[in-house]
Amino acid sequence: MKKLILYIVVNFVCIISYSQTAIKVFFDTNTVVKEESLKDLPVHIRAAALQQLNSIKKESAMIVQGNTVYFEIKPQQIDKKQKGTINSNDRTSGVLFSKDLSLEGSYPGLKILKNFKTKTIKTKIKGKLTTEKLVAVNWKITNKKKKILSYTCYEATTTFKNKLLTVYVTNDLKVSGSPSDLPFINGLVLLYKHGNSTTTAQRIELNQEEPLNFL
């Protein structure tokens, strides 16, 4: 009888401990830049500039614990250089090559706190904390599935901010969370496409600590 009680207590503690640990998902976002958006650049460097711009990846992370989602875009400094020569077929430009094409810029950091139960989103802008309701959407579940980081995901689509939003969601981890300011769906979003951007989970870390004083 004592062994049975001890077994029940140990399992209860394990269940409670598991439920209190957080899951952390690391994402990369790639935005496809179209060549027509670079029409102000000289013809002979457009292809190289397009390649550089499309290689930029924005890093972010999402922590999910219970009904709470902590999402953060890391501040990022961009400094890309292409050394050597860039051949040009545009004889009318008068330039046959260019050296050391550089691309500089930065992404500001951003923190978002969301709640699955209340469907709210909190952000801090200029030191002021704001709370708003997440946009309500109607999800359409498709018959498409794919594996992301060994997790089985199903596809769902909706319209969000007047654009098609496609997500791939897994229920394997028994939690619900969506990155950025996306509306919630039942399950954990590991990939989403919105406009010209695609955000994909790169790795998942289990048994993480819940952040303190996040905002």
Digit-coded pLDDT (tens) for 146-181: 999 999 999 999 999 999 999 999 999 999 999 999
Q: Is residue 100 part of a domain?
A: yes
- Sign (positive/negative) of CA torsion 146, 152, 154, 160? negative
The answer to whether the beta carbons of residues 112 and 125 sit under 8 Å apart is no
The residue count of the chain comes to 215
Closest CA to 24 of 204, 178, 186, 209: 204
Q: Is residue 11 part of a domain?
A: no
The answer to whether the beta carbons of residues 206 and 65 sit under 8 Å apart is no
Name the domain count of the chain.
1
The answer to whether the beta carbons of residues 59 and 76 sit under 8 Å apart is yes
Q: Is residue 129 part of a domain?
A: yes
Report pTM: 0.78
Q: Which two tokens stand for residue 130?
A: 């704001």
Residue 27's pLDDT band, with cuts at 50, 70 and 90, is very high
The DSSP secondary-structure symbol of 41 reads: S
Q: Is residue 2 part of a domain?
A: no
The C-alpha R_g of the chain, in whole angstroms, comes to 22
Give the separation between CA 14 and CA 137, rounded to whole angstroms.
Answer: 36
Residue 5's pLDDT band, with cuts at 50, 70 and 90, is very low
Residue 20 carries which side chain, given as an amino acid letter? Q
Domain assignment of residue 179, given as a range? 22-208
CATH number at residue 149: 2.50.20
Q: Is residue 14 part of a domain?
A: no
101 pLDDT higher than 90: no
Closest CA to 176 of 70, 69, 73: 69
CA atoms within 13 A on the CB side of 20: 6
The answer to whether the beta carbons of residues 207 and 21 sit under 8 Å apart is yes
Give the separation between CA 69 and CA 22, rounded to whole angstroms.
Answer: 10
